[in-house]
Amino acid sequence: MALLTPTKWQFRFFDVSQVKLPDDEGAFLAEPGNITAVVSGSESIFFGSADGVVRIVSPAFKVVRSFRAHDTGAITHMKQMQGTALLVTVAEDVADEPVLKVWALDKLEKKTGMPRCQSTLTIHNGRKHFPISAFAALEDLSQVAVGFANGAVTVVRGDLIHDRGARQRTVFESEEPVTGIAFREGSITTLYIATTGRIVTLVISGRGQGQPAKSLDEHGCGVGCMATDKATHDVVVARNDAVYYYGLHGRGPPYAYDGEKKMIEVFKDYVVIVSPPKTNAIPRANPLRAFGVGAADDAFNTSSFTLLNTELRFVAHQEQMTSQVKAIVSEWGDLFVLTIDGKIFRYHEKPFAQKLDILYQRNLYVLAINLAQKAGLDASQQNVILRKFGDYLYQKQDYDTAMQQYLKAIDNTEPSQVIRKFLDTQRIHNLIEYLEELHDHHKATSDHTTLLLNCYAKLKDVEKLEEFIKTPGDLKFDLDTAISMCRQGGYHDQAAYLARKHGEHELVVDVLIEDSKRYAEALAYIWRLEPEVAYINLMKYATVLLQQCPQDTTQLFIDYYTGTFRPKKDAIVIPNAPVSSGMGMGMGLGVASNAVQNLAALLPLPYMNVNAVASTPNGEQKSTLSQAQIIETSVDEPAPEYKIPKPRTAFSAFVDHAQEFVVFLEACIKSENLREDDKVDLYTTLFEMYLHTASSKKDGDRQEWETKAKKLIEGKNIPIDTSNVLLLSHLSSFRDGTILVRENQGLHFDIFRSYTSTNDTQGAIRALRKYGPEEPALYPAALAYFTSHPDTLNEAGDELHAVLKKIDDDGLMAPLQVIQTLSANGIATMGMIKQYLATTIERERQEIATNRQTIDTFRADTAAKKAELLSLAAKPVVFQATRCKVCNMPLELPVVHFLCKHSYHQRCLSVDANVEDESVECPLCSAQNQTVKAIRRAQVESADRHGVFLEALKRGRDGFAVVSEWFGRGVMGGGSGSGAGAGVVET
C-alpha cells in the first residue's frame, strides 16, 4: 500500500514549560536509574522505582502517598484502571519470576496505613528467565497479557480484583522478542502482538478462540514503538520509515515519516514520537536497536521530540531535547515528558484560536478548516474560517474557488459582504451561483430575489430562470418579488407559472391579461377555478374579457349567475385522435381547444386529468404532455354549491356591451333560481336595454326590439314599477309602453290625452273607440278636441257625428253644454250640428208632452184617493156581500166585514167575536198592504242616509230627477191605509 505523502507543515501548537518540583520531593527523580515505570490515571501520576516503591503525585506535583509495593525487584510495568482506585504493578528480579500485584488505593491497611493488596500473582514463562518486554491489561482486569524477550506471550485470566484465582497460559511463542502487546475488545477479544520481525493478531476469547495467530504484517517494531489510540482503538506502530495503523480489518494507510524512532505514544489527535538524532543513532543493521539497547544509551545523548497529526499530516510541535526521554504520560489535559536526568516537561496545547491565528498567518486555510472540523467546532465558527479563506482567494483573483468557500460559509455570512465583491459584470456567473445558494438555504430576501432575476434577464438565460422558479419543494424566495421581476423582465409565462404554482390565481389572470394579452387563456383559466375565486377574477377583468371574448365571457356570467357554474375539467388525448364535441356552452371548439392547449403549455391547469393520457396504438409508450392535445370535457357532476350573487352586481361589467347584456339578462330571467327581489332589477334593466337597442336601429329592426319590450311589460303582474316604465318609455319615445301602463292602471283618459297632446287624431280616435265604452267622459273630451282646430276637424271627419250621437244617446252632455263646447273657438258650423239640434229639440218637445200627461194622471189619481179617504172617514159603509170570501158559503153570523168591501165568517178568520184589533187584516188585501208599508218604511229609513243620496246622485243621468225623488221620500207622510184593512164584526 502506498504511503501517505509526508507534510512540510510544522507548527508550534504547544507551549512547553518545565515542572517545578518541591526541593524535598524531587530527589527520587534525579537519582539515575531510580525511576523504572511511569503511568497516569485518575487525576494522578504514578512513579515506580527500582527499589519497589510506588509514589503518587498530585496535580501540584507533590508526592501525596508512597508505599513499598514489592520487597524485591524493580517495578518495570504499571497499569492504572481508569475510573477506579486500582493499580497494577509488575516487579522483576533476576533471580525470580515476575510478580504482579493489584492494589486498592482507596482501601488502607489499619496496621501499616498502606493500600490493600487485592491479589498477588507470579507470572510464569515456562520457567525461563527472560525480562518482560511488553505488558497489557483489560480495564476490568479479567485478562492480562505479558510479553517476554524470548518471544513468548502469557495470558492471565481470572478475578484478580477479588483474588479468586487466576489461570495462566502461554498463547504465543516466537523466535523474535516480543516488543509490544495491545488488547482490542468487542464481540471478540483480540490480542495484537508485535515482535521485532512481524505483527500478528490472536483471538483469545470469543468466536475464533484457539486458532493460530494471524499475521498482519511481516515487519515488526522496536520496544516502545507500539501504542493504542483510545479514541479509535486502533493499534499504532512506529517504524523507521513510517507510522502504521492496524484496525479490525488489517493495516490501514500509513503515514510516511522517516527516521529512527525510540518511543511513541498517542495523545489526543497526535502521535508522540521520540527519536535520537541521526548523528547519534545506532545503525539500522544493529540487532540490539530493535530491543532498545545501544551504545548511545547514556544521559548525554539528545532526543528528537515530535508531536505529529497523522490524519491532517502536519507537525504540531518538534524540538531537540538535551536529555533522552525516559517516559511519556498524559494527564489533566496535558502531556508530560520525563527525561532520564529527572526533569519533567509539561506540553500544553495552545487555545484553538491561537492555532488558527498561526495558520492564518501562513494562509493555510484548508488546514485550518480541517482542523476545525476535527476539533468539532460548530458551523458558525467553521464558517468564519471559510469566509477568511474566501477573502484570501478573492484577493488572489481566484474568484471561482473563492465563491466555493463563500458558499460553504453561507449560513453565517452577511450576504451583502459577498455580493458587493461580485457585482462586476464579468463575475456575474459567480454572483448567480451565490444568490441561488442563498435561496436554497432560505436566506434570501426580496432584494436578493430581484438581483438574481435581473442577472438571469441580463444573460437572457431562460433555462436557468425556469429551473429556478420550478424548483420542487418549499418556496425559497419571495413570491411577490419573483413574479414582479418576471413581469418587468418580459418573462410573462414564468410569472404566470409561479403565480399558478402557489395558488395566486388573481396574479395568473392579471399576467395573462395585462402582460401576455392572452385573453382566451385567461378566461379558460378562470373557468377552471373554484366558484368563489372564479367570481373575484371574473368581476375584476369582466370589461376587458367582454371586449375580447364577448361570447364566452357572457356565457360564464350566465352560468355563474344562474347557479349552474361548474369548473371546467380537461382531458388529454393523443394527437389526431377524435375529439368529443362535448364542450362548455358558449365556447366554440376551435377557440376552446386552442386556448386550453396554449394554457396547458404555459402553466399547469387546475382540474387537469393528467392520468387520462392515452396510449399509442402499439401500446409501447404513452404520449407526453407536449405531444398530447388538451380539450375541454363536459361532466355530469352536480354544480358546486356557492352563494349566487345578485344580478345587479354584474350590470356595470356590461357597459358598452349592450348585445351581450341583453343575452345575460334574458338568461337570468329564464333561470329557475331567480329570486323574487331580483326580478324587478332584471325586468326593468332588460326593458331599458330593449328600448336602448331599438333607439339605435332602423325601422324594421326597431319595430322588432320595441315588440320585445312591449311583450315584456304586457300583463298585469309584471315586476316593473309603473313609474320606471313610464319614465323609460318617455325617454325613449316608446308610446306603446306608456299606453300599456295606463291601460293596466285604468288611466284611459290619460291615454286619450297623450294622443291629443301630440295632435295624433287617428290615435285619439282609436283610443276613443277602444276605451270609450268604459270611459264615457272621453266623448265630451273628444268633442272638444275634434273642434279645436280645422285640420283636426277635417281629419276626424264623420267621427264628430258619431261622438255627438253617443253623447246624445247616453245623455253625456246637456244640449246647452254641447252648444257651448262647439262655440268655444268657432271651428264647428251650424250645418255640422243641424241634425243634432233638430233631433234634440224634437225629443225635448215629446218629453215635455209626456211629462204633462203624466202630471195630469197623477193629479186625477191623487184627487180620487183623497175623496175615497174622506168617504171612509166620514160616511157610513154599506156591506152587501152575501158569501164568505174564504169558504164561499153564505154568510152566517158572526160575520166580519172589512172596509175594502170583503166579508168573512168569523170562524174562517179564526178570531174572537169581540176582536177589535187593527192588526187583523183582510186576507185578500194584506199582501198589497204589506208591500206599501215596506216601501214607506224604506223611504223613511233612507231619508237620513245622505251618503246613499250622494251615490245615487252620481250614478243618475238626470240629477234633478234624483233630487226630486229623494225630496219626495223625505216629505211624504200621513196615514198608513189602515181604513182599507180595518174590520167590523157583526154579531
* In the chain, where the domains are located: 7-31+260-279+296-350, 351-443, 687-743, 748-822
Q: In what order do the strands lie in the sheet with 178-184?
A: 178-184, 189-195, 199-205, 214-217
Confidence (pLDDT) at 880? 82
The DSSP secondary-structure symbol of 789 reads: -
Greatest mean pLDDT among 152-166, 570-584, 825-839: 152-166
CA distance linking residue 124 with residue 167, whole number of Å:
10
Mean pLDDT of 699-713: 66
| Amino acid of residue 247 | G
Q: How confident is the model at residue 301 (pLDDT cuts 50, 70, 90)?
A: low
Please give the grid coordinates belonging to residue 757.
Answer: 297632446
**Hey, is 496 helix, strand or coil?**
helix
Name the least confident of 576-590, 648-662, 832-846.
576-590
Residue given cell 445558494 in the structure block: 437
Q: Which of 252, 205, 199, 257 is closest to 226 using CA atoms?
A: 199
Q: Is the pLDDT of residue 623 over 70?
A: no
% pLDDT > 70, the chain: 75
pLDDT in tens, 24-40: 777 788 788 889 999 99
CA distance linking residue 123 with residue 120, whole number of Å:
10
Q: Which of 257, 325, 255, 253 is closest to 292 using CA atoms?
A: 325
CA distance linking residue 223 with residue 153, whole number of Å:
15
Confidence (pLDDT) at 248? 79
CA distance linking residue 404 with residue 387, whole number of Å:
10
Cβ partners under 8 Å of residue 774, min gap 6: 748
Q: Is the pLDDT of residue 967 over 90?
A: no
Q: Is the pLDDT of residue 285 over 60?
A: no
Greatest mean pLDDT among 360-374, 416-430, 674-688, 897-911: 360-374
Q: Using an 8 Å Cβ cutoff, are 291 and 222 in contact? A: yes
Confidence (pLDDT) at 186? 84
Confidence (pLDDT) at 280? 46
Q: Is the pLDDT of residue 774 over 70?
A: no
Residue given cell 300583463 in the structure block: 715
CA distance linking residue 485 with residue 495, whole number of Å:
8
Q: Which of 816, 739, 813 is closest to 783 using CA atoms?
A: 813
Residue given cell 380539450 in the structure block: 631
Confidence (pLDDT) at 618? 41
pTM for this prediction? 0.56
Greatest mean pLDDT among 3-7, 12-16, 839-843: 12-16
pLDDT in tens, 195-226: 999 999 999 988 888 888 899 999 999 999 99
Question: What element of type H or E holds 820?
Answer: helix 815-822
Q: Is the pLDDT of residue 513 over 90?
A: no
pLDDT in tens, 230-260: 888 899 999 988 999 998 788 888 898 888 8
CA distance linking residue 486 with residue 410, whole number of Å:
26
Q: Is the pLDDT of residue 768 over 50?
A: yes
Name the least confident of 442-451, 626-635, 663-672, 755-764.
626-635
Mean residue pLDDT of the chain comes to 78
Q: Using an 8 Å Cβ cutoff, are 511 and 621 in contact? A: no
Question: What element of type H or E holds 692?
Answer: helix 676-695
Q: Does a cis peptide bond (omega within 30 degrees of 0) precede residue 876?
A: no
Q: Parallel, antiparallel, or unpaired for β 255-256 and 334-339?
A: unpaired
Greatest mean pLDDT among 257-261, 469-473, 580-584, 977-981: 257-261
**Hey, is 23 helix, strand or coil?**
coil
pLDDT in tens, 157-203: 998 888 888 899 999 999 999 999 999 988 899 999 999 999 999 99
Q: How confident is the model at residue 758 (pLDDT cuts 50, 70, 90)?
A: low
Please give the grid coordinates belonging to residue 419.
Answer: 455580493
Q: Which of 847, 863, 869, 864 is closest to 978 using CA atoms?
A: 869
Q: Is the pLDDT of residue 679 over 60?
A: yes
Q: Is the pLDDT of residue 752 over 80?
A: no
Residue given cell 306608456 in the structure block: 738
% pLDDT > 90, the chain: 20
- Classify burial at 251, counting beta carbons within 10 Å of its beta carbon; exposed 0-12, middle 13-18, buried 19 or more: middle
Confidence (pLDDT) at 972? 41
Question: What DSSP line would sit under 577-595, residue for residue?
Answer: --------TT--HHHHHHH
Between helix 462-469 and helix 428-440 the angle, nearest 10°, is 10
CA distance linking residue 22 with residue 36, whole number of Å:
21
